[in-house]
Amino acid sequence: MSVFTGAGVAVITPMYDNGEVNYEELGRILEDQIAHKTDAIIICGTTGEASTLSHEEHLDVIRYAIQKVAKRIPVIAGTGSNCTETAVYLSQEAEKAGADAVLVVTPYYNKATQNGLKRHFSEVANSIHIPVILYNVPGRTGCNIQPETAVWLAKNVENIVAIKEASGNISQIAKLMRLADGCIDLYSGNDDQIVPIMSLGGKGVISVLSNVAPEQTHNIAAAFLEGDVRKSCELQLQALDLADALFCEVNPIPVKKAMNLLGWAAGPLRAPLYEMEEEHAAQLEKAMKEYGIL
């Protein structure tokens, strides 16, 4: 059984002006996401600025989200690290807190070999009992999970059950699904590729767009899952300009700006990320207006 199907939100971590986590606003955001049909919460991923949270903050945010959501929809905790020992620790703590699954990114900066990736993900997965979703985003990490490696992991480690693919390489993803022959679930990691990846057998998307358009993103995936591919494609194409604007600077700079524009107290970014440039902010605001959410 899949961890989830449809659109899961890679949710932001709202912060006060002094940089501390704004749990009250996070709670409001989580409630709004559930009310607007989001199918899963992904907490403390890239969009949640996990890389600049301390370990204590990281786990506190995960615990808060799990308690707030209270099993209404799955909560998937981002627990990846470029240190295997740290990823094991975060994953074990997330399991203790009640996470439904963990999302584990490839070790960034280290540039592990494929054999190194097999060992890293195996050690993390074997340290816990809940499902593991691999996260492949080579543009950020400098490390690519080859299709053969992902399939080996799915076949040899019982609780490695899925992969979030954000490589953007449709040919590689197609090869993965051919080799997998159903042994691993696939989620799009790019909002502009929901329909293409679902056409290859994907179960849905782990989405940045869902932060600002949760029901619309849910509908893209839901229409496809219901067999209305034409409608799904239309909705996907309508969202392209906004999806592009949300990545006109590195994630999560634009999406935090967008949330603030929508009236959420998303707050500032943690350094080394800073406010987006004026021309990009104007592009984002224009795309939001044209999409009808601002």
pLDDT by residue (tens digit) across 239-277?
A: 999 999 999 999 999 999 999 999 999 999 999 999 999
Collect the ranges in the chain with pLDDT lower than 70.
Answer: none
| Model pLDDT, residue 210 | 98
Catalogue the active-site residues: 135, 164
How many whole angstroms separate alpha carbon 25 and alpha carbon 15? 8
| Model pLDDT, residue 253 | 98
| Model pLDDT, residue 39 | 98
| Model pLDDT, residue 86 | 98
How many whole angstroms separate alpha carbon 75 and alpha carbon 73? 7
| Model pLDDT, residue 96 | 98
| Model pLDDT, residue 141 | 96
| Model pLDDT, residue 245 | 98
| Model pLDDT, residue 127 | 98
